Amino acid sequence: MKFLSILLTFLLLEGPPQWGLDFDKAKAEAVQNHKYIVINFSGSDWCGPCIKLKRDVLDTPEFLTFADKNLALVRADFPRLKKNQLDKKQTAQNEALAEKYNQEGKFPLTVLVGADGKVLKEWDGYPAGITTESFVQEIQSIINARK
């Protein structure tokens, strides 16, 4: 039984990266590990293209494996249903991020920023023809160009 709990803990620690909710933590990780930051503005319970982008690209094992080595991930969610409302602190953090990176209130909006917080690329909506592979290649080409 003890072995099983140790194994489970190890597997959980070694799993794919998860989308975080705190930009400051992501920024610290990006600085420390020489990564870039992807911010995904989403309406998780009302925005069809947001749900599709998350399912088809952003939460795929292929993207998360790439992100593990190259990216810190931040999801700024703006749910509308009462049962999905975020706590006040998280709502304030998401609104502050939107004020800086999504002033027009676009959904979905995915933003690639450097560890310094400077915007490198934006993807507005669910880009036509996007695949996990094409998205990863586009980010990789931006990273390569900055080396």
Distance CA 35, CA 123 (A): 19
Residue 83, classed as helix, strand or coil, is: helix
Q: Do 29 and 80 contact (CB within 8 A), yes or no?
A: no
Number of domains in the chain: 1
Residues facing 121 on adjacent strands: 112
Is 2 within a domain?
no
User: Has residue 24 been placed in a domain?
Assistant: yes
11 inside domain:
no
Q: Does residue 4 fall inside a structural domain?
A: no
**Residue 47: phi, psi to the nearest 5?**
-105, 105
Q: Give the range among 1-5, 71-75, 128-132 with minimum mean pLDDT.
A: 1-5
For residue range 6-25, what is the model confidence (pLDDT) as tens digits?
434 444 445 666 899 999 99
Instruction: State the CB neighbour count (10 A cutoff) for residue 18.
Output: 11
Whether this prediction's pTM lies above 0.85 is answered by yes
d(Cα 97, Cα 7) in Å, to the nearest integer? 37
- pLDDT tens-digit profile of 50-92? 999 999 999 999 999 999 999 999 999 999 999 999 999 999 9
CATH number of the domain at 140, please. Answer: 3.40.30.10
Determine the 3-state secondary structure of 108 from DSSP: coil
**Looking at residues 107-124, what average pLDDT do you find?**
98
6 assigned to some structural domain:
no
5 found inside a domain: no
Question: Does a structural domain hold residue 7?
Answer: no
- Structural domain boundaries enclosing 103: 16-145
Question: What does the DSSP 8-state code read for residue 146?
Answer: T
Are residues 71 and 36 in contact, defined by beta-carbon separation less than 8 angstroms? yes
CA atoms within 13 A on the CB side of 117: 8
